[in-house]
Amino acid sequence: MGYRLKPKYFDDVLSALSKHYDIMAPALMPFETRHSAQEVVGYRKIESLKEIVVDKKTFFSPKEILFPPRETMFYFTDSKIRESEYEEKNKIILLRTCDLNGIERLKNMFLNNGDVKDNYFKRRFESTKFWLIECDDGFDSCFCASMNSNKADSYSTAIKFTEEDILVDSNDNMFSELFKSYGVEEDYKVSFIEKNKLEVKVPLSENINPAVFEHDIWQEYIKRCIACGRCNTSCISCSCFTTHDIIYDDNKRRGERRRVWAGCHLDNFSIMAGGHDYRTKNGERMRFKTMHKIYDYHKRFGKHMCVGCGRCDDVCPEYISFSKCINKLYDIIEKENDK
Amino acid sequence: MSNPYLPVEAKILSFKDETDIDRTYRIKCDIPVNGGQFFQVSLPGAGEAPISISDFNEDSVDLTIRNVGKLTTEIFKLKVGDKLFIRGPYGNGFNLAGLENKKLIVIAGGTGLAPVKNVINHFCKNRDKLKSFDLILGFKSPEDILFSKEIERWKSLIDVILTVDKGEKSWKGDTGLVTEYIKTLGIEAGPDYSVIVVGPPVMIKFTTMELLKNGISENQIIISLERNMSCGIGKCGHCKIDSRYVCLDGPVFDYIQAKNLID
Instruction: Calculate the average pLDDT of chain B.
Output: 94
pLDDT digit string, tens, across residues B142-161: 999 999 999 999 999 999 99
* pLDDT band with cut points at 50, 70 and 90 for residue A34: low
Kindly report the nearest CA distance between residue B203 and chain A, in angstroms.
Answer: 13
Counting the structural domains of chain B, the total is 2
Measured between alpha carbons, how far is A201 from A148 in angstroms, rounded to an integer? 11
Which residues partner with B109 through β-bridges? Answer: B138
What pLDDT score was predicted for residue B100? 96
CB of B121 less than 8 A from some CB of A: no
pLDDT digit string, tens, across residues A49-63: 999 999 999 999 999
B226–A272: do the CB atoms touch at under 8 Å? Answer: yes
Q: Note whether B85 and B104 are same-domain residues.
A: no
Kindly report the nearest CA distance between residue A255 and chain B, in angstroms.
Answer: 7
Chain A contact probe: residue of B5, B75, B245 with most A CBs at under 10 A: B5
Query: For residue B2, is it within any domain?
Result: no
- CATH value at residue B226: 3.40.50.80
B42–A292: do the CB atoms touch at under 8 Å? Answer: no
Q: Which of B68, B90, B112 is the last residue of a domain?
A: B90
Set of chain A residues whose Cβ sits within 8 Å of the Cβ of B51: none
B263–A270: do the CB atoms touch at under 8 Å? Answer: yes
CB of A302 less than 8 A from some CB of B: no
Name the residue among A240, A243, A299 with its Cβ closest to that of B237. Answer: A240
Chain B contact probe: residue of A63, A73, A105, A116 with most B CBs at under 10 A: A116
What pLDDT score was predicted for residue A32? 66
Q: Assess whether pLDDT exceeds 70 at residue B193.
A: yes
Q: Assess whether pLDDT exceeds 80 at residue A31.
A: no
What contacts A9, CB < 8 A, 6 or more positions away? A182, A183
What pLDDT score was predicted for residue A33? 62
Q: Which domain covers residue B24, as residue numbers?
A: 8-90
pLDDT digit string, tens, across residues A210-253: 889 999 999 999 999 999 999 999 999 999 999 999 999 998 89
Q: Are A213 and A291 in contact (CB under 8 A)?
A: yes
What pLDDT score was predicted for residue A196? 95
Distances (CA, A) of A155 to A83, A129, A191, B34: 31, 7, 13, 43
- Report how far Cα A91 is from the mean position of its chain's Cα atoms: 16
B44–A245: do the CB atoms touch at under 8 Å? Answer: yes
Query: For residue B263, is it within any domain?
Result: no
A297–B243: do the CB atoms touch at under 8 Å? Answer: yes
Q: Note whether B85 and B103 are same-domain residues.
A: no
Q: Assess whether pLDDT exceeds 70 at residue A256.
A: yes
* pLDDT band with cut points at 50, 70 and 90 for residue A331: very high
Set of chain A residues whose Cβ sits within 8 Å of the Cβ of B44: 76, 78-79, 81, 245, 255, 257
Closest residue in A to B227 (Cα–Cα): A272
B263–A269: do the CB atoms touch at under 8 Å? Answer: no
- CATH value at residue B56: 2.40.30.10
Closest residue in A to B40 (Cα–Cα): A243
Q: Assess whether pLDDT exceeds 90 at residue A30.
A: no
B227–A272: do the CB atoms touch at under 8 Å? Answer: yes
A241–B236: do the CB atoms touch at under 8 Å? Answer: yes
Q: Note whether B75 and B124 are same-domain residues.
A: no
User: What is the interface size between A and B, counted as CB pairs within 8 Å?
Assistant: 123
Q: Assess whether pLDDT exceeds 70 at residue B120.
A: yes
What pLDDT score was predicted for residue A127? 96
Q: Are A152 and A132 in contact (CB under 8 A)?
A: yes
* pLDDT band with cut points at 50, 70 and 90 for residue B169: confident
Quote the pTM value: 0.94
Q: Which value, to the nearest 10 degrees, does the dihedral of the CA atoms of residues B40, B41, B43, B48 take?
A: -40
Q: Which amino acid is at B134?
A: D
Name the residue among B47, B85, B238 with its Cβ closest to that of A244. Answer: B47
Q: Note whether B186 and B63 are same-domain residues.
A: no
pLDDT digit string, tens, across residues B33-82: 999 999 999 999 999 999 999 999 999 999 999 998 899 999 999 999 99
Q: Note whether B58 and B176 are same-domain residues.
A: no
Mean pLDDT within B71-100: 96
Q: Assess whether pLDDT exceeds 90 at residue A275.
A: no
Q: Note whether B82 and B211 are same-domain residues.
A: no
Query: For residue B206, is it within any domain?
Result: yes
Measured between alpha carbons, how far is B254 from B252 in angstroms, rounded to an integer? 7
pLDDT digit string, tens, across residues B242-262: 999 999 999 999 999 998 888
Instruction: Calculate the average pLDDT of chain A.
Output: 93
Kindly report the nearest CA distance between residue B260 and chain A, in angstroms.
Answer: 7
What pLDDT score was predicted for residue A274? 78
Q: Which of B57, B90, B123 is the last residue of a domain?
A: B90
Q: Note whether B66 and B125 are same-domain residues.
A: no
CB of A211 less than 8 A from some CB of B: no
Mean pLDDT within B120-147: 95
Query: For residue B120, is it within any domain?
Result: yes
Q: How is the beta sheet containing A254-261 ordered, strand by strand? A: A80-83, A70-77, A254-261, A241-247
Q: Which of A19, A20, A3 is nearest to A128 (CA)?
A: A20
Choose the weakest-confidence range: A29-33, A237-241, B24-28: A29-33
Q: 3-class DSSP state for residue B221? A: strand
Query: For residue B3, is it within any domain?
Result: no
Query: For residue B189, is it within any domain?
Result: yes
Q: Assess whether pLDDT exceeds 80 at residue A38.
A: no
Set of chain A residues whose Cβ sits within 8 Å of the Cβ of B48: 243, 245, 257
Q: Note whether B112 and B238 are same-domain residues.
A: yes
Q: Note whether B247 and B207 are same-domain residues.
A: yes
Q: Which of B65, B90, B115 is the last residue of a domain?
A: B90
Name the residue among B47, B226, B262 with its Cβ closest to that of A210. Answer: B262
DSSP string, A234-248: H-SS---EEEEEEE-
What pLDDT score was predicted for residue B121? 96
Q: Which of A278, A267, A281 is nearest to A229 (CA)?
A: A267
B233–A274: do the CB atoms touch at under 8 Å? Answer: no
CB of A235 less than 8 A from some CB of B: no
Q: Note whether B183 and B233 are same-domain residues.
A: yes
Mean pLDDT within A182-196: 95
What pLDDT score was predicted for residue A257? 96
Which residues partner with A294 through β-bridges? Answer: none
Query: For residue B1, is it within any domain?
Result: no
Q: Note whether B155 and B58 are same-domain residues.
A: no
Q: Note whether B16 and B145 are same-domain residues.
A: no
